[in-house]
Amino acid sequence: MEKLKMTLSAKTKKELEASFLESMKDENFKNFVSNLKISKELAMKNNSKIKETVDELKNCKNCKGLFMCKNRLDGYVYFPEVDEDNLIFNYVPCKYQKALAKQEETQENELANARMKDIDITDKKRIELIKWLKDFYDKYEKGKNCKGLYLHGSFGSGKTFLLACLLNELTINKNVNYELVYFPEFLRNLKEDFSVMEDKVNYLEKVEILVIDDIGAENVTNWGRDEILGTILQSRMNNHLTTFFTSNYTIEELEQHLALTKGVEDTMKAKRIIERIKQLTTDIELISKNRRK
């Protein structure tokens, strides 16, 4: 038995070494291992993970932005850190992801401090929306069934900012609790850590006012559409909780978007989502200049 164990161990080591030597034929792999300054044994042990890192770095070399990302996790590289006699692999943000994070941090600060006095009232294309926001503010009462808004329109027209102005005003003067979630990022975060999924979904089902920002910008999956979005909306509809949406899609275009999952069309499930949105909101369009410039 002891002899068999030794034979198996020697065979495994031989296979590892053969696989590693094959990987070393790639000049990029060879240079990367050399730069890590680790032992051959450690490199052999982590051969497949290092190869994944090298492949992802190759993807990054000619990448022009997050929309082109081919890595396992968009905007991140699976990268090792040397820790004594071990390699610890983590997802490290690329330059485009870092720039996006910085932009989002700036935007979050702007949204956190937005007030209704900051709204530009000189833009005639905003008049209908501004009147709706003021009317909502004046009439809003906790526990009262108040329809939210499906606010759609041109890119950068200030949809999220305008809702933040209203909700910050309600928070300060009427003690309202609200949550604004950028929907594509929310789904990505759930996928990265399923252990928090139940708590996060339960919270969004129950928060007093919910803003689902940029719906339609996410990659549609059965899981994200039916189990996450559908569950949240059904619960909020049943409990008459105020819900807002922003989107670059009209509600008809959003239905078409939600119907396609990996090329498979599922119109009935998309219709169910759209019916819930219609029950929860008033539909207003905002076509205006791109204020992000």
pLDDT value, residue 8: 47
d(CA 242, CA 140): 10
pLDDT tens-digit profile, the chain (293 residues) = 444 444 547 777 888 889 999 999 999 999 999 999 999 999 999 999 999 999 999 999 989 998 889 999 989 999 999 998 899 999 999 999 998 888 777 777 888 888 989 888 888 888 999 999 999 999 998 878 899 999 999 877 789 999 999 999 999 999 999 999 999 989 988 888 888 889 999 999 999 999 999 999 998 999 999 999 999 999 999 999 999 999 999 999 999 999 988 777 889 999 999 999 999 999 999 976 655 55
3-state class (DSSP) for residue 203: helix
Instruction: Please report which residue ranges of 24-94 form alpha helices under DSSP H.
Output: 27-36, 40-45, 47-61
Domains within the chain, CATH numbers bracketed = 12-96 (no CATH), 114-286 (3.40.50.300)
Q: Is 280 exposed, middle or buried (0-12, 13-18, 19+ CB in 10 A)?
A: buried
Dihedral of CA atoms 138, 144, 150, 155 in degrees, nearest 10, equals 50
Give the Cα separation of 222 and 228 in Å (integer): 9
Is the separation of the CB atoms in 187 and 218 below 8 Å?
yes
210: nearest Cα among 237, 172, 248, 174: 237
The answer for residues whose C-beta is within 8 angstroms of residue 8's C-beta and 6 or more apart is: none
